[in-house]
A and B are shown apart, each in its own frame.
Chain A
Amino acid sequence: MSITNLLNNWSFYRNKRPYRGQYDLNKEYSEYKWAMALDLDICTGCNACTTACYAENNLPVVGKKRFHHGQVMHWIRIERYWDEKMVDFPEQGASFLPMMCQQCEAAPCETVCPVGATSHTNDGLNSQNYHRCIGSRYCSANCPYKVRYFNFWNYPSTAWPAPLPDQLNPDVTVRTKGIMEKCTFCVQRLNEAKSRARTEYRLVRDGEVVPACVQACPTSAITFGNIVDPNSKVAKMWKNQQVDLYKDLQEKDNTVRGYRILEDLRPFPSVMYMERIRDTEA
């Protein structure tokens, strides 16, 4: 990139994002905006998504000691919360929350990375470029969801005793020490599907490609798709749940379940959660 180029594109970097019309089916490089809808009522907290993510994205198994030090690398984790008002027993069960990178539109991590290793793609993903990363860990410090995971150790040399490396997905880089990583919405799958679709002069069909967690989820609690396409299931769900990608505070009916986590910090996440339901009369 030359200086001229940098200056030409400066206004792009200075744009307030997201802005309406940022994603458009008619624009060549922003006809996709990948988004999720996650129904917390039918998520059972079974961890199938987590394991699928380990398999798909070459996540290292860190072992007990490192897990204890909080150096675990699960890109998607299942959080289990008890009710704050619980007396003796959790009579309404637990609250499970699968938490992965929310692919924020106004991502706090992107602005602070000194080297631009994390940046926004035209598809609305928050890309993490491993070999550009110098490991300042500022992005993790600034991530409100704490879904960025830093390679504190040289996992390639320890985490996969032979022949476990044979299982590694060749489409995903294995990360060495000193690098930040996070959920990518399985971008390797998205890229492949987009390439296939482009060859066939079409857009990626709804449901043609899903991340590993979505594919595994036994209850199909996660819906994934291109929110720019009004006919995709995920776009319909967002609309139905009255969650607007471009708004930071949703004005919605009380009966509607959609919300985005920590919306008040205005990161404009791409993952819509749907409230857990409990039968209070049961």
Chain B
Amino acid sequence: MIHRLLAVLSFVFLCVGTASAEPLKWGGPIGSQTSDGYNALGPVVKQPIEFPHYRHARDMGISCLYCHTGARRGYVSVIPRIDKCIGCHQNIESVRNKPRIKKLFEYWEKKEPIPWKKVNDLPDYVRFNHERHVQRFYFRQNRPIREVCGYCHGDVANMTVDRRVKSLSMGWCISCHQKDHRENDVSMKTSHGPYECWQCHK
């Protein structure tokens, strides 16, 4: 009898438990993605121009901050304005007739913005501050920029079109904010990121 009782009870608990578990949203419970819990490869996004990050960042060694100028001074990292692309490319004759560059110039001549698709798209109520992270880890801790950006964005320098590689979920953010990070490259003093709601949520 007692086994039956247990069976019934566990059935009840199972039902209740399933009902109260949170709906399966993106991210899911801890550990549901991959080995470290947060590596979650996003979908392949088709961009209007298949921008080769590897060409710029790896082959040419251009710093991320050269194009994404907002990352050091504002919340938004900024997709470069078209005249920035043109500024260089009008002097690079060797690739001038490549299809992707032609497309770029088409936009430029029409004076139309390029409708890039957002790859690392946080919910609208989250305000990620690029400036704070770049200032802290690049300018103060003096870590290589590709490492600093790569912590969230992955190895973009080896990608063509950017693809999301981390879950970008709240737990993932907090897991890092709770770690002690060195204040700067000389001091051994550490501090952690803030974890109060209004730092990120608006």
Contact = CB atoms under 8 A, between A and B. Distances in A.
B39 interface: no
Nearest to A126: B198
Given A171-B127, A172-B202, A195-B131, A127 B178 contact: no
B106 to A, nearest CB: 29
Interface stretch (A117-125, A146-154, A217-225, A261-269): A117-125
Contact of A173 (B124, B129, B132, B196): B124
A22 interface: no
B197 interface: yes
A124 B124 CA distance: 25
A121 B132 contact: no
A195 B129 contact: yes
Contact of B191 (A28, A121, A131): A28
Contacts of B63: none
A188 B129 CA distance: 12
B198 A191 contact: yes
Contacts of B125: 130-131, 173
A199 B202 contact: no
Interface residues of B, number: 20
B46 interface: no
Contacts of B197: 117, 119, 121, 127, 129, 132
19 contacts: A28-B191, A29-B194, A119-B196, A120-B196, A121-B197, A121-B199, A127-B197, A127-B198, A129-B198, A131-B125, A171-B127, A173-B125, A173-B201, A191-B199, A192-B75, A195-B129, A195-B131, A198-B132, A199-B131
Interface of B: 73, 75, 123-125, 127, 129, 131-132, 135, 174, 178, 191, 194, 196-199, 201-202
Given A5-B178, A130-B125, A173-B202, 19 more contacts: A1-B174, A28-B191, A117-B197, A121-B196, A127-B196, A127-B198, A129-B198, A129-B201, A130-B201, A131-B125, A171-B127, A171-B202, A173-B125, A191-B129, A195-B75, A195-B129, A195-B131, A198-B135, A199-B135
